[in-house]
Chain A
């Protein structure tokens, strides 16, 4: 039997009060996302032309780079396999939360599983999934304990959704679009098209949900959201979670791999394109957040221009 030892301080967990159990639609736009997710269901094995991937047409350094790039994307996508069930449970445990996000999150999680299968298959085709970052320190960027964080009663659920379902999923969507713009391999392009279609709903969910909640936030709540989102951007994005070139001290191997993957049309993008995406997206997000009464500061890094 497996043994996992809890060594961190005990968490505060909400005690669920199940009844009355509302199941009617209260957030119709999010119910629409759930319905369109069901309608847009796809099958990674049937709906992607895997024969067109043809990894043998690329030389060995490119194949090696592609397996590292897609392995790293897999490390990111795997987050959903523990985070989404935790987020779903938190919605269920907190009194008064609507049924629509709960239904929706079950679909999101299946889509994340399909993405995992696709990304894994790509990494395997290019020589085999790489099980961990080249530098152990870089592992910290991925081991974020998000499942613990969202289940903790002291964590504001609205703030969590703003950070991770709205901002972070939105950025992931835009980066996927950027990679798609530079992808020439037909199989990679097809996978990214499917992933983008799903992630459009993932990001829409986050923004729709917080937009529905924000009118009830106090000034204190808005400051909390801003504080947590700012910390997350500094601790996650600027530590190279999505873009390893932002953390060359620990993610040099991954950053170099991305350069080759991008130049071969295998689903990456030049660094300048990713930087433009981060700057443009964060600017747009800042404006959307301002409409919700949340002030996001500017971010400075010696790896990229102020954004």
Chain B
């Protein structure tokens, strides 16, 4: 593998003006806690660290208790979870970078250091689960599905000086992560395998802090925003819901109908019926609808008004 001066021939790049191109100016440097609720999240996360290697009762997992079809479906499900968690490792650090470049309250940077580590643990544990069920799968079985799981453009948006940070957090954290969290709560109810359930609970515990971060930030910042700025936040959330969530980023049954998404949906059904950690359209649909309604209600007092959303499988929410 060549060094990167030669790599441009092998890997595509773009020349683009971003926040990275602002001269660093770290002084005056402060670590005062301007958002103490977020600092406390950092401290709570510090106290509640866990290790996929030592804190999961892997011995309780009995792959042989499941059929080959169930194991295959579940390894695809847990591989897909690993891809999703990896997305946060690859893209969300751009948020931490932006907090620093914009001299946002240091609480946000500190919390995000441990948030990224938690995402790494999630990816690690999902990969380990897939391995034990027959082997981690490195990419979507059908490339058509890549578009639904590869990226939701967080890094690009975060490094764009014209995209307000407030909108990104409202869309990524208060919306996408909130939906993911509610699905995890549901998974805790329907997952019967003890190890799969333990993993779900470990991840859910971390995700609750990730969601809280977003709301604490939004609640603190919204008082200072103009109606025009709040409209930009609305637009970001609408894009996240319509282009990402309703496109199947978290829930494969929402992805546009094609052979690839059908295969993923079928794998989810088999995994769900085996109690190994997934869910199905019928069970998840009311969760999704309730979550979206709750997000709308929670944003409204902050001056962020979300319109109705439509999806052929959900109707108008």
Contacts and interface: CB of A to CB of B under 8 A. Distances in A.
Interface stretch (B113-121, B173-181, B262-270): B113-121
A164 interface: no
A139 B27 contact: yes
Interface in B21-36: 21-31
A35 B83 CA distance: 20
B31 A10 contact: no
Contact of B7 (A74, A94, A116, A139): A94
Given A6-B18, A10-B15, A13-B14, A103 B124 contact: yes
B161 to A, nearest CB: 6
Interface residues of A, number: 86
Query: Size range of the interface on B?
Result: 35 or more
Given A81-B96, A103-B120, A113-B42, A94 B4 contact: yes
Interface in B76-129: 82-83, 86-87, 89-91, 93-94, 96-97, 100-104, 109-110, 112-114, 116-117, 119-121, 123-124, 127
Nearest to B225: A1
A159 to B, nearest CB: 7
A159 B14 contact: no
Contact of A75 (B26, B124, B161): B26
B103 A2 contact: yes
Contacts of A216: 1
Interface stretch (B133-141, B239-247, B284-292): B133-141
A143 B120 contact: no
A78 B49 CA distance: 22
A85 B7 contact: no
Contact of A153 (B4, B18, B96, B159): B4
Interface in A61-108: 74-75, 78, 81-82, 84-86, 88-89, 92-96, 102-103, 106-107
A117 B90 contact: no
B46 A43 contact: yes
Contact of A89 (B31, B93, B123): B93
Given A92-B90, A93-B90, A102-B89, A11 B11 contact: no
B150 interface: yes
Nearest to B232: A1
A304 interface: no
Given A106-B116, A113-B113, A221-B3, A20 B139 contact: yes
B263 to A, nearest CB: 16
9 contacts: A6-B17, A6-B18, A13-B159, A16-B151, A39-B54, A41-B49, A85-B94, A109-B113, A129-B31
Given A14-B11, A44-B46, 12 more contacts: A8-B21, A11-B16, A17-B12, A18-B83, A75-B26, A81-B110, A103-B89, A103-B120, A131-B27, A143-B25, A147-B100, A154-B8
Interface of B: 1-5, 7-8, 10-31, 42-43, 46-47, 49, 51, 53-54, 82-83, 86-87, 89-91, 93-94, 96-97, 100-104, 109-110, 112-114, 116-117, 119-121, 123-124, 127, 136, 138-140, 146, 150-151, 155, 159, 161, 164-166, 225, 229
Interface of A: 1-24, 34-35, 38-39, 41, 43-46, 74-75, 78, 81-82, 84-86, 88-89, 92-96, 102-103, 106-107, 109-110, 112-114, 116-117, 120, 129, 131-133, 139, 142-145, 147-148, 151-159, 213, 216-218, 221, 224
